[in-house]
């Protein structure tokens, strides 16, 4: 093991020790705000803490009306004003346990998996990941191949953007309902699905790999689409008067060493989750943030960020070390 690998191991173990000594503290406050429940999260800071908390709130179908984020230094402190799908305060506090579990030393990490097509065996199903060029009838062809191979589709989620497609499909064996773990059968599934994805027009092609571990479906789809470079170069700087388009401004705060990102766009469910996922995939860390989405047509988000190397986005010092 070289010095760099040893350093990573020591840092990782130190982080686990800090988390054990300072377990996350989550409080649910139904008194301070007349219209929303306040969820306050205090924890030793580690990369991905903000994403993990937002992911839990999103999975519980909670609507985040306001959020105040601070993770500068060694501590992570957030306050979320949330309501349920019916616009009411929370009547149960199982959110406390779920957030504490996600931030604890055994919490699942969200490391990026750089694969275009992958198959993983899980306890109850096998997960297939697909990315490729979108076209009419593609999903039907994918399902037809799986049916011919005696696979039962348990569930699937598909995202499309800029003529690209990403999908996560959960399958089991048609005969006994168990996960598919035979290497030869998995190889055949991947090979045939690769033919379907490429078709006769996908010049970018697709790669195949057997993924390891498990991850959140929507989180994984974010990673897959970002790795596939599905994003475009549309102008979001405010040069258009179209209120339906996002307005994004980026500027450096030199005296504090941050890059400040301001976002104004039509509000929608899971907007905060999508924004935090995007910043994380782009290797940016959020140190401070404010989110306002009070039920009106627009949402406002402001983030003070740095790249993982510790510098603002356009700092001349980046990459010189």
Give yes or no for residue 306 having a pLDDT over 80. Answer: yes
Span 50-59, mean pLDDT? 89
Please tell me the least confidently modeled range out of 75-79, 113-117, 227-231, 249-253.
113-117
pLDDT in tens, 225-251: 887 776 655 555 555 566 667 899 999
pLDDT category of residue 210 using cuts at 50, 70 and 90: very low
Please tell me the least confidently modeled range out of 1-15, 171-185, 286-300.
1-15
Task: Give residues with Cβ within 8 angstroms of 39, minimum separation 6.
Answer: 26, 27, 28, 29, 57, 79, 80, 82, 95, 99
pLDDT category of residue 122 using cuts at 50, 70 and 90: low
Buried b (16+ CB within 10 A) or exposed e, 6-28: eeeeeeeeeeeeebeeeebebeb
Tell me 262's DSSP state: E
More confident residue, 169 or 206: 169
Cα torsion through 112, 114, 167, 124, rounded to 10? -70
Task: Give residues with Cβ within 8 angstroms of 240, minimum separation 6.
Answer: none
pLDDT category of residue 112 using cuts at 50, 70 and 90: very low
pLDDT in tens, 57-68: 988 889 999 999
Token code pair at residue 136:
């009419």
What backbone torsions phi and psi does residue 292 show, to the nearest 5 degrees? -130, 120
H-type alpha helices, 22-119: 49-59, 94-103
Closest CA to 263 of 279, 250, 274, 253: 250
Span 206-229, mean pLDDT? 68
**Residue positions counted in the chain:** 321
The residues pairing with 80 across neighbouring beta strands, listed in sequence order, are 39, 67
The residues pairing with 284 across neighbouring beta strands, listed in sequence order, are 307
- For residues 138 and 150, give the distance between their C-alpha atoms in angstroms, rounded to a whole number: 19
Give yes or no for residue 263 having a pLDDT over 90. Answer: yes
**Inter-residue contact 24 to 41 (CB < 8 Å):** yes
Question: Which pLDDT does position 227 carry in this prediction?
Answer: 78
Give yes or no for residue 277 having a pLDDT over 60. Answer: yes
Please tell me the least confidently modeled range out of 86-100, 264-278, 301-315.
86-100
Span 150-160, mean pLDDT? 90
Question: Which pLDDT does position 321 carry in this prediction?
Answer: 40
Domains, the chain, ordered by start = 18-109+246-307 (no CATH), 117-227 (3.30.70.260)
Closest CA to 265 of 233, 302, 312: 302
- For residues 51 and 272, give the distance between their C-alpha atoms in angstroms, rounded to a whole number: 9
Q: What is the residue whose two structure tokens read 């991850």?
A: 215
Span 198-211, mean pLDDT? 58
The highest-confidence range among 40-49, 67-76, 87-96, 276-285, by mean pLDDT, is 276-285
Task: Give residues with Cβ within 8 angstroms of 295, minimum separation 6.
Answer: 65, 267
Q: pLDDT over 90 for what percent of the chain?
A: 30
Question: Which pLDDT does position 92 carry in this prediction?
Answer: 66
pLDDT category of residue 9 using cuts at 50, 70 and 90: low
Token code pair at residue 2:
């070289």
């Amino acid at each position: 093991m070289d010095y760099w690998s040893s350093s990573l191991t020591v840092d990782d173990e130190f982080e686990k020790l800090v988390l054990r000594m300072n377990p996350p503290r989550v409080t649910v406050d139904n008194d301070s705000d007349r219209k929303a429940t306040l969820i306050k999260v205090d924890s030793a800071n580690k990369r991905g803490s903000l994403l993990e908390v937002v992911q839990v709130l999103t999975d519980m179908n909670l609507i985040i009306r306001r959020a105040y984020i601070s993770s500068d230094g060694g501590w992570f402190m957030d306050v979320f004003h949330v309501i349920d799908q019916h616009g009411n305060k929370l009547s149960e506090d199982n959110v406390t346990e779920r957030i504490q579990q996600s931030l604890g030393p055994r919490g699942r990490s969200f490391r990026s998996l750089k694969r275009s097509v992958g198959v993983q065996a899980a306890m109850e199903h096998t997960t297939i990941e697909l990315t490729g060029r979108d076209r009419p009838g593609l999903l039907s062809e994918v399902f037809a191949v799986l049916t011919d191979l005696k696979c039962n589709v348990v569930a699937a989620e598909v995202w499309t953007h800029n003529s690209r497609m990403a999908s996560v499909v959960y399958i089991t064996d048609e005969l006994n309902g168990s996960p598919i773990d035979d290497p030869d059968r998995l190889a055949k599934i991947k090979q045939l699905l690769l033919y379907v994805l490429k078709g006769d027009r996908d010049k970018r092609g697709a790669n195949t790999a057997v993924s390891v571990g498990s991850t959140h479906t929507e989180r994984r789809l974010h990673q897959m689409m970002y790795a596939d470079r599905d994003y475009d170069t549309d102008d979001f700087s405010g040069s258009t008067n179209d209120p339906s388009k996002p307005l994004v401004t980026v500027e450096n705060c030199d005296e504090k060493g941050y890059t400040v990102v301001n976002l104004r766009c039509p509000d929608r469910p899971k907007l905060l989750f999508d924004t935090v996922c995007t910043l994380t995939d782009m290797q940016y860390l959020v140190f401070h943030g404010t989110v306002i989405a009070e039920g009106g047509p627009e949402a406002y988000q402001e983030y003070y960020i740095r790249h993982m190397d510790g510098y603002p986005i356009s700092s001349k010092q980046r990459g010189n070390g």
